[in-house]
Amino acid sequence: MNYSELYIVKELVDLVNIPSPSGFTDSIIGYLDSELKRLGFSPRRTRKGALVVEIGGRGNPIVLAAHVDTLGAMVKSLKPNGRLEITNVGGFTMNSIENENCIIHSKTGKTFSGTIQSISPSVHVFENARSLERKIANMEIRVDEELKNAEDLQKLGIEAGDFVSFDPRATVTKNGFVKSRHLDDKASVAVLLDFARRVSEGKVTCSRKTYLFFSNYEEVGHGASAAMPDDSEEIISVDMGAVGDTLRTDEYVVSICAKDSGGPYDSTVVRSLIESAKRVGADYSVDIYPFYGSDVEASLRAGYDVRFGLIGPGVEASHGYERTHYKALENTLKLIEGYVGN
């Protein structure tokens, strides 16, 4: 099987290559808008910039929510040495972005390449190159231009508040692994696109009224806090399944979350998801994620009166250089079709 040619994998690679840190998501929302229209649907944008689309079915309305925004950074200040001080967008460890190539997106529309490094990057020069604490104050961006000082940066049009996106380094292996940044949560976005494609082609029929909701501020905590369809009765976050430590989830299954940092998920929904996974033969695990929040929790805190759950493909090394497998995408799609489809 040539995994790279499969719709779900091709879409995932395209998605991770579209820069979209929280607050900078117009391009990827536009991409999804165009693809959903090509499939025959009529998506609409919310005032906050998210995308919602009804794809079929009647009664008992459900929302499947995935987020398009990713981790990233912003320029905090122009440093006297011609480097950029940064502030993080979303939660990640500094060592996970050290030596990563990046793009600075200036407000003029121009982009500049650069590299994120510590302020003591060379073992041949700095005694503390190995011991320096990797924290945001000790990181900077080296821009790929001839620069000596902050004035040179100003001449380029770079300023505080410009967004910084990280190189995803997306790779699809011959045996079905997908390695990339931002699989959280673009793996699930690709799953929902493939589900919409299958509905549009008549391969799946929705057994209940089904909406897809693509949020754009999940990584900073308020993604799905607004603009849920008025008749929503249930919201399922389709996000990544956490992998590691004593959790049973791996990179080949769809993970069903029973509890995360926000508390337990609806037990009736969890049981129904498990029953659906068994019925359709989706390989799954049930886990508790110790340090995790989701879009549906933002909806609940905003006051939505809905049933709620969370599923997603297993993703290893989350918020770093992540990896999943085609089987996890396939099992997540299979569970969604079993849960809301005929």
Q: What is the pLDDT of residues 316-337, one digit of tens each?
A: 999 999 999 999 999 999 999 9
User: What is the C-alpha separation between 298 and 304, in angstroms, rounded?
Assistant: 9
Q: Is 219 a known ligand-binding residue?
A: yes
1 pLDDT above the threshold of 90: no
Pick the catalytic residue: 54, 127, 145, 218? Answer: 218
154 pLDDT above the threshold of 90: yes
CA nearest neighbour of 331 among 289, 297, 280: 280
Q: Which domains does the chain have, with CATH numbers?
A: 3-70+182-340 (3.40.630.10), 72-166 (2.40.30.40)
Q: Which band of pLDDT confidence, cut at 50, 70 and 90, is reported for residue 253?
A: very high
Angle at 218 between CA 293 and CA 103, to 5 degrees: 125
Average pLDDT, the chain: 97
Residue-wise pLDDT for 45-73, tens only, equals 999 999 999 999 999 999 999 999 999 99
> In the prediction, which pLDDT does 252 show?
98
Q: Is 201 a known ligand-binding residue?
A: no
- Is the bond preceding 167 in cis, omega lying within 30 degrees of 0? no
H or E element that contains 254: strand 254-260
Q: 316 catalytic, yes or no? A: no
Q: How many CB atoms lie within 10 A of CB 133?
A: 9
103 pLDDT above the threshold of 90: yes
Q: Is 222 a known ligand-binding residue?
A: no
Question: What token pair was written down for 264?
Answer: 């337990």
- Region 213-218 average pLDDT: 98
Q: What share of the chain is helix, strand, coil (3-state, %, to 5)?
A: 30, 30, 45
Cα–Cα distances (Å) from 153 to 57, 82, 142, in that order, read: 54, 6, 11
Q: Is 184 a known ligand-binding residue?
A: yes
Helix (H, G, I), strand (E, B) or coil at 76: strand
**Cα 82 to the center of its chain, rounded Å:** 32
- Region 247-263 average pLDDT: 97
Q: Which band of pLDDT confidence, cut at 50, 70 and 90, is reported for residue 14?
A: very high
CB-based burial label for 246 (10 Å; 0-12, 13-18, 19+): exposed
CB-based burial label for 200 (10 Å; 0-12, 13-18, 19+): middle
